[in-house]
Structure 1
Amino acid sequence: MEDQVVLIVGGSGGIGKASADLFAKAGAKVVLAARDKAKAEEKAKEINDNGGEAFAIEVNVTDLGSVSDMAREVNENLGEIDVLVNAFGLGLIQPLLDIKPDDAKEVFDVNVYGTFLVTQTIARYMATAKKGRIIMFPGILGKAVMRNTSVYSASKFAVTGFTKALVEENKRSGIKFSLLFLGGVATDFWENPNIDMRVQKDKMLTPQQVAKAVYYSASQPDDSVLNEITIQPESHQMV
């Protein structure tokens, strides 16, 4: 990964920050893009202080202008983006009849439209370069459903379908896609008041465990691609 440019969108979250550590240690130039730029800057400083090369940038994944500015800034200052890690998302786990329509809209805006917008924008650059890897996080609820996840699962199944269609569309473009179907991960995802579920975070996957899968996906030889991987905690997570 030496000198490769890795853009992590959702760089202020647990998975994004843990992945940034691995990429930086491997010699990549890491860009942490997040709505909360201050948190991304904290992680970038930590990486730089430890001898790596990291940058922070603010982005609103639901705003075309913001996403376009992010892509242009990275390409102009660091060069072609080799890896895009779409590590952002918004949770909502509640019974259907309790869900506020505005909350549902926000989930679809971030998880579906945001994924479309970021992916399309970066893929334009990758298509010109005829290379690139894009890593998606539909999570396990983008493969199987559970109680009270109607809206969230719908958004994540959309990410799965979107990505699988892009695989077919890009067989000769040089852009490779990986789908990571993850079980519960111990991040601040669970601190959201719209997550109506009690969990045991100590029994979940750690961001560091997930980061290893992200790095493995991104570091495959040029002539191969990790299409899909499913990782689940061994034990039950719900209280």
Structure 2
Amino acid sequence: MEDKVVVIAGGTGGIGSAIARLFSKAGAHIVLAARNREKADAIASEINESGGKAYATDLDVTDMSSVYKMTDNVIKELGKIDVLINAFGTGMIKGIMDVDPKKAREVVDVNVNGTIMVTQAVLRHMMSEKSGKVVMFPGILGKHVMRNSSVYSASKFAVAGFTKALVEETTKRFNIGYSLLYLGGVSTDFWENPEVDMKVQADKMLDPEEVAKAVYYAVTQPAPGILNEMVIQPDSHQMV
């Protein structure tokens, strides 16, 4: 990963920040793209003070101008994007009759439309270079459903379908590899969202640092191999 440019959209979350720290230790140049610029700056400073290479940039995945400004700035400053990791998202675990339609639209806007816009913007550059890797996190609820996951699962199934279609469209012609990570519960602030009406035991969940190792494994597969899909779940609540 030495000198590879890794853009982490949603780099201030538990998973995104863990990925940033791990990849920086391997010599990658980390771009922390997030709405929370203050937190992104703090993580970038931590990485740089530890001898890594990182910088923060603003990103609102629901705003097309913000998305394209971010990608254009990265290309201007660093010259390329080798890896895109879409580590952002928002949750909703509620019975359908308790769902606020406005909140449901926000989930779709972030998880689906945001993923489409960010990926499209970065693919412009990857396709011109005929090289790149993209990591998506549909999560286990983008593969299996559970009670009260209707809206959230709809958004995550969409991410999985979008990615699989991109494989058909861009992999052979432009040499872009895609990895889908179907993760079970991860111990992050995802569960603090008031739209996630679910009791959880954080101590029985996946650790973000272990997830980061899985992402690193996916991204560093030697050519011509591509890790297309990976399922990782806590042993306490598997869905198969």
Q: After TM superposition, is the score higher than 0.5?
A: yes
Tell me how large the CA RMSD over aligned residues is.
0.9
- Map residues 1-239 of structure 1 onto 2, 5 A cutoff: 1-170=1-170, 171-236=172-237
State the Cα distance separating 1:125 from its structure 2 match: 0.6
Determine the C-alpha separation between the residues in 2 that align with 1:172 and 1:226. 18
Determine the C-alpha separation between the residues in 2 that align with 1:83 and 1:16. 13
Determine the C-alpha separation between the residues in 2 that align with 1:218 and 1:6. 10
> After the TM superposition, which segments of 4 or more aligned residues of structure 1 sit over 3 Å from their partners?
none
State the Cα distance separating 1:120 from its structure 2 match: 0.5
State the Cα distance separating 1:79 from its structure 2 match: 1.5
Question: For residue 13 of structure 1, what is the amino acid of its counterpart?
Answer: G
SS at structure 2 position matched to 1:70: helix
Determine the C-alpha separation between the residues in 1 that align with 2:223 and 2:25. 20
Determine the C-alpha separation between the residues in 2 that align with 1:139 and 1:173. 26
Question: For residue 208 of structure 1, what is the amino acid of its counterpart?
Answer: E
Question: For residue 174 of structure 1, what is the amino acid of its counterpart?
Answer: N
State the Cα distance separating 1:140 from its structure 2 match: 0.1
Query: In terms of mean alpha carbon deviation, does 162-171 or 133-142 score higher?
Result: 162-171
State the Cα distance separating 1:222 from its structure 2 match: 2.9
Determine the C-alpha separation between the residues in 2 that align with 1:221 and 1:38. 36
Determine the C-alpha separation between the residues in 2 that align with 1:73 and 1:160. 28
Question: For residue 95 of structure 2, what is the amino acid of its counterpart?
Answer: P
What's the CA shift string for 1:95-120, capped at 9, x where partnerless? 00000010000000000000000001
SS at structure 1 position matched to 2:165: helix
Question: For residue 57 of structure 2, what is the amino acid of its counterpart?
Answer: I
Query: In terms of mean alpha carbon deviation, does 68-77 or 168-177 score higher?
Result: 168-177
State the Cα distance separating 1:220 from its structure 2 match: 1.3
TM-score, normalisation: structure 2: 0.97
State the Cα distance separating 1:236 from its structure 2 match: 3.6
User: Are the counterparts in 2 of residues 90 and 107 from structure 1 also a CA contact under 8 Å?
Assistant: yes
Determine the C-alpha separation between the residues in 2 that align with 1:236 and 1:176. 30
State the Cα distance separating 1:65 from its structure 2 match: 0.5
Determine the C-alpha separation between the residues in 2 that align with 1:172 and 1:211. 29
State the Cα distance separating 1:42 from its structure 2 match: 0.9
SS at structure 2 position matched to 1:172: helix
Percent of residue pairs identical: 62
Determine the C-alpha separation between the residues in 1 that align with 2:160 and 2:237. 24
Question: For residue 173 of structure 1, what is the amino acid of its counterpart?
Answer: F
User: Are the counterparts in 2 of residues 203 and 236 from structure 1 also a CA contact under 8 Å?
Assistant: no
Question: For residue 198 of structure 2, what is the amino acid of its counterpart?
Answer: M
Any unmatched runs of 5+ in structure 2?
A: none
Determine the C-alpha separation between the residues in 1 that align with 2:21 and 2:222. 21
Determine the C-alpha separation between the residues in 2 that align with 1:25 and 1:220. 17
Determine the C-alpha separation between the residues in 2 that align with 1:222 and 1:106. 38
Determine the C-alpha separation between the residues in 1 that align with 2:6 and 2:14. 16
